[in-house]
Structure 1
Amino acid sequence: MRPPANPVRTRPGRLVSKHVPLSLLALIAIAPLASADDLFTETTEVPEVLTATRLKQAPAAVPGSMTVLDRGLIEASGARDIPELMRLVPGMMVGYLKGNQSTVNYHGANVTEARRLQVLIDGRSVYRPGLATVDWSDLPIAIEDIERIEVFRGPNTVSYGANALMGVINISTRSPVDSHGTRLRYSQGQNGIRDWYASQNLRLNKGDLRLSLSGQEDDGFDHDQYGRDYRDSRRTTRINLSAVHELDASQTLEWQFGAKEGSKQRPYNYESMFIPGIANGDSDSDIAAKDYFASLRWTLELDPRHSLQLQTYAERWEREEAWSACEASIAFSPQLARLYALSPAYVDDLGYALTHGQPLPPGTSEQEALGLQIVQLLGSGQGTTPVCGDIDFNTRESRFDTELQDTLSLTDDLRLLSGIGYRHDSVDSETYFGGRQSNDILRAFTHLEWNIGKHWILQGGAMYENDRLSGDSLTPRLALNYLITPRHGLRAVYSEAVRSPDMQENNVDWRIRLDNLTPTVNGSRSAYFFATARGPANLQQEIARSREVGYNGAFSEWGLTLDIKAFNDEIHRMISEPLSVGDFRPANDNWIAFRGAEAQVDWRFSGSDRLRLSYAYVDFEASSRLDQRLTARNSGSAGWMHDWGHGWSSALFYYGADSLNLYRFERLDLRIAKRFALDHGTSLLLAGVLQQRLDDEPLTWKENLNDERRLLYFSAGLEF
């Protein structure tokens, strides 16, 4: 699978090299060389990250690639939601199914099924258990509550279990200890943008508590490719309560509670397969969403070398999606249901033939016999009666997770992290599962870090999981880091990861029932639609193997950090098929391979200026065309943040990708802000954000269109 040496033409007039382009070398070359004093001088003030191994480590010692989005960068970006922040992460592909349905993939793969990233909020997974996806537009967290986001770019099943196949996004919220006082914020702008936020901190006996309320609203895209209004607005309201208690000098107790409710518009575009022109019933199938969570974390410092952490949380996702639909009575006939069970493809051919006046399509004798019966029913008028009823696509998913983690320094040079956990997932849906489906997962994990002398670090870890629906798995990782100094390190990493097929892929029992039928069907007020689907129940776990070499360095004299990596990742036994009742054929038949390089630079070149650059070159091959659509060979971002003094600041960001689902994406964002210091410690922040598309193409899909390429919104914030 070696790529050819010659370039390929991806779009008219646009050549993309099949090798790592010179622009990557140019990006690296802009970083000024550090002085010898900086490069070879020990320092104790080395920043630390946590997400890679669950151990606090210097970035140069991490067994993989990390991107950290700090609070200053998050605010300067002007982003309203987390997917937009992911554009700052090299190799992260951000797309949109509709204005209220964003997708985030690392390096790409299927444009509609973003299922291979683990997403954590304060250690709590928001990866939905039944339909196995991350509902990015419905995350129960406000941007204003986020302290930092650590992104581990690469497989990390070793630390976080199955579903961390391609990477981990770990979102950490502000501690109540660090968010004293009152904060208010309101934003409004084009496209129906109306966001608000309010928080209040309370000092408790040996602790702190923060209550935050927030809401978000916008109108999505303006129209589709035919100029029709696009029904994809969204509205969300959230409440979060977070507290930290210092029980004594060695014990800390943290707890959180949150709830979210909102709605997302969805167009209902179903058309009768056999009788064109039948009324559709409702014009929409909107979703009403409600989420709840509660978490508790207890930390015990036994001594400076030994600590324990116990975390337990429970979550619930409710999605109410019900509407009225109409079809011809033939859609509820046993003959059509039997024919569909034999061959969905033949039903498609039959429907096309009937609506286009063509003869009965060829098939097996049983298929043709059933097809003839359906034609006769329609010809006699028995199957042409319009029937309307209520459809229920409601789902309720829940998760309970508890985990005990032990961190022990065996010697000055040897650290061991180990833990065990249990998770119970369940989903309840009459349409998708005919009731309730559940799963239980046991896990045990360990990570060993061995400092061999002054410069070498050998790290190894493994995760064992017992998944009741998918079986056992054991995933390892081995890494060798060479530290020139604590701030400069080279790394070589090999890791394996798995993704368990979700309940919808493997265990679905998809039957669409219409209730309150008018008129009745065979004397009944309820009937099942002919199209059904059942999961194979024998899907295997997807397997990823990753090889990476890289460098991470922090040049303290210049205020510059740099991370570079070259990678070779492969995923086998991929499940790439779309999960649609009309074409439900999931199988472990596909594979994908990614090769390339990434770089990121963060340069604070003066007390008032910060430059941040990211770039990814991804060369890929995939067995399924569906996995070839959301990978840009060249993508990246560039940002310049400047403090002008007297409360004025600005930030200018460029985002670009040469092909997302065959469409180019380029955008320039400008944020200008002014902070006013008022009396008694009160401050007022006024900001405006302008987003300007530099291309004239749809966003990911051809129907995602806006009337203007420009988006403008303003915000006002008060702190006291």
Structure 2
Amino acid sequence: MKKRPPYHRAICVAGLLAAASAGALAQQQPADLTDLSLEQLSSIEVTSIGKRVQRLSDVAGSVYVIQQEDIRRSGAVTLPEILRLAPNLQVARADANQYAISARGFNSVLANKMLVLIDGRTVYSPLFSGVFWEAQDLVVEDIERIEVLSGAGGTLYGSNAVNGVINIITRSAADTTGTLLKAGGGNQERSAAVRYGNGGATTGQPWRIYAKQYATDDTQLESGGSSHDSGRRKQAGFRTDRVRERDQLTLQGDIYEGQFDQLPAPRQVSGANLLGRWSREEGTGVRTQLQAYFDRAGRNQPGAVDDTMDTWDVELQQSRRPAEGHELLWGTGYRLYNDNANNIAPSVLAFQPPERKLQLWNLFAQDDFVVAPGMRITLGLKAEHNTYTGLEWLPTGRIAWQLSAQHLLWASASRAVRTPSRIDRDVVVPAVNLGASDFQSEVAQVYELGLRGQPRSDLSYSLTLFRHRFEDLRSVDVLPGGIAFGNSFEGHLTGIETWGSWRLAPQLRLQAGYTWQRLQLGPIGSSTTLPTSAAQLGNDARNRGQVGLGWDLAHNMELDVQARYVGALPDPQVPAYSAVDLHWGWRIRPDLELSFLVRNLNDPQHVEWGAAGNRAEIPRSFQLKAVWRL
């Protein structure tokens, strides 16, 4: 009997559910919808492309927006699982707690070309130029939206925004008044949260406080043994906002700790942050914003390093209209990293020197102006200076042409860099004779062509073609005295990403996305690198696709199905897989909602990441959740 492709069951399950829902709709009266119509979706406001409010339909960039309603109807309780909703991201679960998340290639648990921000605070770690996802958490009901920009964002966001930016924006304290109680549990995960918000009726200053915890059980190895990767995390925080005439003030902070099992001993994370932001809107169209934050992140990796990273950051930016049709944005910023790496086992791995102060300052300007009716051009430049490589120049140019009221054609060209991390420059591994290096910045030239439109009131789409040219990529070079990180690889990435939404009926909405990409890398000239050197850059599927179906069964009941397919990973090899997630929600009362989530409905378990023989299988799981709003 001919073996069916791995995605066959996913397509069958999704098809059966779609057929069943279509039949039921013929007998059902239209329901009152709680999610956005496509007309409202076309007017979604985003800030990630221009650091100013723009309608998504007018943006000259590849941006996917995950709304709060999308998050609620997905049933997801962690940030990485929410990010699976974005078709322009590759999200792979490595074990119970660790994820590999990136856009447009170079994916890894230590992926280093995506910048991630939470309310303007970067959670990127200069320890390795990436994000420790198991340390990031929020009350998901407090997220307003997540803007996922794929493509270079260096002019506005600086180094390390090479392949994209994930911008997580939480709701104002004024929008989260009252009490929220949440509890959920299942065969793999358990979570609970409480949040109280005061509308500030007497003080004029709304505020909220919250506390939450999350725990996950061990997964299993392919061999059948335990992965020893269970984890728990606790977090609490607050936010207060005040609006006084033209001024807006925000103060927020979080504190957290977590422990994650591994052999021979658990790793631990802890941290705290405090952010303040002031902005003023002038009647002349001038907007000024000043933001500052402090972030402490601790990570104890047994047998390697006990690291504490303190980050101090201040940024000033201003937008104005110097002339008719012009939107000028400029800004400057300074950041100080104070890293203390306690080398627990220097004979195995060590940072030399153990303590390092890294400074980063920048100055940028960007002008958006009309050149002809329906046509706008954006030109920008950032000068950024870092401790390791000095001054880096990050330019961008974008053009947007409104073909009609329903269609926007855009193109862009940008230069982005990934500056060295402490691992690139300061790490020493005596066991393999890996020494410190003079690693330089990785460079990307990014070119994009996109088309976005809404040809009908019930149909919208986005299509982007992209080509990235990479220079000075990280390699493991063979030197006379041993090996060291170098810049001996180059390559290019070509691809297409597309997604769309179709309102099939008043109660039924279909969303779909697909990404194809081809990454080709090779050594520069006659460089001598380790045979496995290219594998450390990342591991990416050439094809990814997903389909989502949202069905309002009644005015207080809903069913959502998400089916995704991820192609095979080349090195290390990971088979292609498919997964179907099902979420059922029931609003028993306006203040009480029950939901049931099943992940991997079509498959008992599958692997998403890692080398054969020592990788975790992601099991089928279910979770029952209750949310009570008082």
Bin of the TM-score, shorter chain as denominator length: 0.7 to 0.9
- Residues 684-709 of structure 1: per-residue CA shift (max 9 Å, x gap): 11100011264664222233344x84
Shift, 1:593, TM fit: 1.7
Q: Quote the offset at 1:88 in angstroms.
A: 2.3
> Which residue is equivalent to 1:4?
none
In 2: Cα distance, 1:213 partner to 1:44 partner? 32
Q: Which residue of 2 aligns with 1:116?
A: 113
Which one has a larger percent strand, Structure 1 or Structure 2?
2
AA aligned to 1:195 is: S
Does residue 687 of structure 1 match 2:595? yes
Range with bigger deviation, 459-468 or 75-84: 75-84
> Contact 1:58 / 1:486 at 8 angstroms: preserved in 2?
no
2:94–2:616 Cα contact (<8 Å) kept: no
Deviations 1:60-102 (A, max 9, x none): 4323100000011111112222222222223422223332211
2:489 is the counterpart of 1:492: no
Could you list the structure 1 runs, at least 4 aligned residues long, displaced by more than 6 angstroms after superposition.
12-16, 42-45
SS class of match (1:411): coil
Per the alignment, residue 472 of structure 2 pairs with 573
Shift of 1:188: 0.3
Provide closer, same or farther for how the CA distance between residues 136 and 500 of structure 1 changes in structure 2, counting only shifts above 3 A.
same
CA contact (8 A) 2:362 2:383 kept: yes
CA displacement, residues 294-317 of structure 1 (integer Å, 9 cap, x when unaligned): 000000112241010000011011
User: Which position in structure 2 is the counterpart of 1:76?
Assistant: 73
Tell me the secondary structure at the aligned position of residue 207 of structure 1.
Answer: coil
State the shift of 1:479 in Å: 1.2
Q: Tell me, in whole angstroms, the C-alpha distance in 2 between the residues paired with 1:584 and 1:300.
A: 53
Q: How do 1:196-235 residues align onto structure 2 when only pairs under 5 Å count? A: 196-204=192-200, 205-222=203-220, 224-235=221-232
Partner of 1:306: 286
Distance in 1, Cα, partners of 2:131 & 2:483: 21
Note closer, same or farther for the CA distance 1:200–1:110 as it changes in structure 2 (3 Å cut): closer
Per-residue Cα deviation, 1:403-441 (whole angstroms, up to 9, x for no partner)? 000100122301100000000012101313353111101
**1:574-593 alignment, distance < 5 Å:** 574-577=473-476, 585-593=484-492
Distance in structure 2 (CA, Å) of the matches to 1:197 and 1:15: 37
Equivalent residue for 1:288, pick from 268, 271, 276: 268
Match of 2:615 in 1: 704
1:711 aligned partner, one-letter code: S
User: Which amino acid is 2:134 matched to?
Assistant: S
Of 49, 52, 56, the residue aligned with 1:55 is 52
1:507 corresponds to = 426
Is the 1:256–1:294 Cα contact (8 Å) retained in structure 2? yes
1:94 aligns with 2:91: yes
Match of 1:115, SS? coil
Query: Is the contact between residue 668 and residue 694 of structure 1 (CA under 8 Å) also seen in structure 2?
Result: yes
Deviations 1:596-632 (A, max 9, x none): 2111112334432222111111122122541686221
Q: For 1:532-571, what aligned pairs fall within 5 Å after superposition?
A: 533-536=434-437, 538-555=438-455, 558-571=457-470
The two structures have a TM-score, normalised by structure 2, of 0.85
Q: RMSD over aligned Cα, in angstroms?
A: 2.5
- Residue type of the partner of 1:535? A
Residue 295 of structure 2 corresponds to: 315
Q: Work out which of the residue numbers 486, 489, 493 in structure 2 matches 1:594.
A: 493
Contact 1:496–1:545 (CA<8 Å) still a contact in 2?
A: yes
**Partner-residue secondary structure (3-state), 2:69:** helix
Which residue type is aligned with residue 204 of structure 2? K
Distance 2:163 2:83 in 1: 14
Q: Please, which moves more after superposition, 180-189 or 392-401?
A: 392-401
1:715 is matched with 625
Per the TM alignment, residue 203 of structure 1 is displaced from its structure 2 partner at its CA by 2.6
Shift of 1:242: 0.5
> Equivalent residue for 1:240?
237
What is the CA-CA distance between 1:103 and the residue it aligns to?
1.1
Give the CA deviation at 1:249.
Answer: 0.9
Measure, in 2, the Cα distance between the counterparts of 1:15 and 1:195: 32
Change (3 A) 1:45 1:202: same
The Cα shift of 1:571 comes to: 1.8
Please, which moves more after superposition, 410-419 or 133-142?
Answer: 133-142
The residue aligned with 2:399 is 480
Q: Distance in 1 between matches of 2:460 and 2:310?
A: 41
Relative to structure 1, the CA distance from residue 99 to residue 655 in structure 2 (aligned partners, 3 Å threshold; closer, same or farther) is same
CA spacing shift, 1:15–1:245, aligned 2, 3 Å: closer
CA contact (8 A) 1:642 1:651 kept: yes
Gaps of 5+ in 1: 1-11, 17-41, 268-283, 323-390, 512-529
What letter corresponds to residue 267 of structure 2 in structure 1? I
- Percent identity at matched positions? 24
CA 1:45 to 1:218, structure 2 compared with 1: closer, same or farther past 3 Å? closer
1:647 to 552, 556, 577: 556
Deviations 1:321-355 (A, max 9, x none): 34xxxxxxxxxxxxxxxxxxxxxxxxxxxxxxxxx
Using the TM superposition, give the Cα deviation of residue 219 of structure 1 relative to its aligned residue in structure 2, in angstroms: 1.1
Distance in 1 between residues matched to 2:74 and 2:42, nearest whole Å: 27
1:112-144 deviation digits (Å, cap 9, x = unpaired): 430110000001100012232201121042322
Relative to structure 1, the CA distance from residue 591 to residue 565 in structure 2 (aligned partners, 3 Å threshold; closer, same or farther) is: same
C-alpha distance in 1, partners of 2:594/2:608?
29
- Going from structure 1 to structure 2, the CA distance change for 1:15 and 1:415 (only over 3 Å counts) comes to same
Contact 1:95 1:102 in 2 (8 A): yes
Q: 1:668 aligns with which of 561, 576, 580?
A: 580
Q: 1:266-312: CA deviations, max 9, x gaps?
A: 12xxxxxxxxxxxxxxxx22112111000000001122410100000
Q: Distance in 1 between matches of 2:76 and 2:432?
A: 42
Distance 1:67 1:619 in 2: 21
Aligned residues: 568
Amino acid at match of 2:593: L
| Partner Cα distance (1:99, 1:649) in 2 | 28
Within the candidate set 614, 628, 635, 2:544 is matched to 635
Structure 2 unaligned segments of length 5 or more: list them. Answer: 8-38, 344-349, 523-532
Aligned to 2:18: none
Call closer, same or farther: CA 1:159–1:88 in 2, change over 3 Å: same
2:583 is matched by which residue type in structure 1? R
Cα 1:534–1:576 shift into 2, 3 Å: closer
Q: Matches of 1:474 and 1:425 in 2, distance apart? A: 21
Q: How far off is 1:553 after superposition?
A: 1.4
Query: Who is 2:330 aligned against?
Result: 418
What is the distance in 1 between the residues matched to 2:341 and 2:41? 54
**Contact 2:306 / 2:341 at 8 angstroms: preserved in 1?**
yes
CA contact (8 A) 2:177 2:196 kept: yes
Deviation at 1:718, TM superposition (A): 0.4
1:139-158 counterparts in 2 under 5 A?
139-158=136-155
Give the secondary structure class of the aligned counterpart of 1:163: coil
